[in-house]
Chains A and B, each alone.
Chain A
Amino acid sequence: MAKRVGAEGSFAVAEAVRLADTDVVAAYPITPQTHIVERLSEMVADGELKANFIYVESEHSAMSACLGSAAVGARTFTSTAGQGLELMHEVLYLASSMRLPIVMAVADRALSGPLNVWGDHSDAMATRECGWIQYFGENAQEVFDLTLCAFKIAEHHDVLFPVMVHMDGFHVSHVVEPYLLPDKEELGDFLPPIDYPYPLDPNKPITMGAFAPPAVYSECRKAQDVAVNSTHGTIENVWNEFAKRFGRQYKPIETHKTEDAETILVSIGSFNQMAGVAVDKLRSEGKKVGLVRIRLWRPFPLQAFRQAVKSAKNVVVFERSMTYGGTVGPVCAEVKSALYGIKDAPRIMDFIGGLGGRDMSPKQFEALFKRAQEIFDKNLDIQYETIGVRE
């Protein structure tokens, strides 16, 4: 029977990794992810999790060890944040191109400088083109559920891609919340043992990560792109199967009061919960507003996203990552690209805020809707504004 327990998002992730019977954890601690690997290290030391915990000297080594581990067919987990994710950066591309089913939790954190250990999406956005499947959980329950699902998705033979489970640093990783923790029995055969089809084996030698000259590199790249785009169905199937067993449904694009909404706020991550409060308040005042939460970020669910915002005349994006010299932030760039050229395309405005751990209250989200309306009404040529800063 599932127990209702109180725990940080970090500990919830660790419990999911334990229940998954993970074989190898190779990780380096970094705020705000530290509690995940600390807890896992404790579980291994206490014999609660029969895994090899590889204590590495850096995140670059952590991901490299994960490559080796996954390549022999072991269920592999790691976790990082912020600067740590950046230090892993080059190895991330190897994991996806070699199709190794690694699961990684990222407690999203601001990037230096100035040095800041608190949450935002600078790290996540910097890795968005690294070929991993990436999605976001907004609270302890979601990150528990989605970490468990991540193993099933990554290891599925129609997928074989690494999966990043994003959670907002501190706002999810460090907040103690109640969540339902199933026991092993209840988990049943939801997550079968890993069966990686191409394990390194001296009796059947293969080469991974070989070199590809200009004559064949483009073909390898296209094959990888087509493969990652073909994972949508399996991701949704796994989430649907999870819903059938455990009663909690996840969708690539989640909507809140969008059916007849004229202005739709699009955002990613735990701040959506504050945005939802603002939407409810504005709805009670008769304003036709709604909220679209992007859960699956890579591969981007283009059709589901277009469907979700189809009633909107205005789309307002809120995102926690700065653009330096770009036209808009990375989430808005995706949104604009997804909606450009469709019939009756909405007007789009980007707001960047919640940087380096700064909160956004429901009141600020209300103000954001108001400011967007003003920009649209006056037809101002503004692509994005940074909000919540002292002028």
Chain B
Amino acid sequence: MAKKDFELTWKEIPVGSIVHEPGNASEYQTGDWRSQMPVLDKAKCVKCGICYRFCPEPCIVKDDEGYYVADLFYCKGCGICAYECPKDAITIVKEEH
């Protein structure tokens, strides 16, 4: 979507409200639903990518150094990455809004 959903007028709604752009869910801010967030300890991380594979949404991305980090605009803070991390490199911390 070129425009954010709250900017669309009714005339811009596609027929049948069909979404024509695959994978555009990550452009929708669900980060503000979160009450807790993943924090990565790079000292412990071995860049195995298990968190990336287990994340149920496409919100973990590889950064320039090869670490897998969560996109906090999209991450809902479910904690699966922390649960699956074999090195306990990810901790889930409470977030204040």
Contact = CB atoms under 8 A, between A and B. Distances in A.
Interface stretch (B7-15, B70-78, B80-88): B7-15
Interface string A187-227: 00000000001100000011110101101101110110011
B17 A222 contact: no
A210 B17 contact: yes
Nearest to A215: B6
Nearest to B13: A223
B5 interface: yes
Nearest to B1: A216
A198 B5 contact: no
A64 to B, nearest CB: 16
A107 interface: no
B8 A216 contact: yes
B18 interface: yes
Nearest to A210: B19
B27 to A, nearest CB: 13
Interface stretch (A47-55, A97-105, A145-153, A338-346): A97-105
A222 B10 contact: yes
A55 to B, nearest CB: 28
Given A206-B22, A207-B22, A216 B6 contact: yes
A208 B9 contact: no
A343 B11 CA distance: 34
A220 B17 contact: yes
Contacts of B18: 98, 198, 206-208, 210
A99 B16 contact: yes
Given A213-B5, A215-B5, A216-B6, A206 B13 contact: no
Of A197, A206, A218, chain B has the most CB atoms within 10 Å of the CB of A206
A99 B16 CA distance: 5
A198 B22 CA distance: 14
A99 B15 CA distance: 7
A99 B19 CA distance: 13
B58 to A, nearest CB: 14
Given A206-B20, A207-B22, A227 B5 contact: no
Interface in A81-137: 97-100
A213 B18 CA distance: 14
Contacts of B8: 216, 219
A198 B10 contact: no
Of A97, A212, A219, chain B has the most CB atoms within 10 Å of the CB of A219
A181 interface: no
B22 A212 contact: no
Contacts of B9: 219
Nearest to B28: A213
A100 B19 CA distance: 15
A197 B20 CA distance: 12
Given A216-B6, A216-B8, A205 B22 contact: yes
B75 to A, nearest CB: 18
A247 to B, nearest CB: 34
A164 interface: no
A290 to B, nearest CB: 40
Nearest to B22: A205
A97 B18 CA distance: 10
Contact of A219 (B13, B16, B19): B13
A223 B19 contact: no
A238 B30 CA distance: 46
A14 interface: no
Rank and list the top 6 A-B pairs by shortest CB-CB distance, nearest first. A99-B16, A207-B19, A215-B6, A222-B10, A223-B13, A216-B5
14 contacts: A97-B16, A100-B16, A206-B19, A208-B16, A208-B18, A208-B19, A210-B19, A215-B5, A216-B8, A219-B9, A219-B12, A223-B10, A223-B13, A226-B10
Interface of B: 5-6, 8-13, 15-20, 22
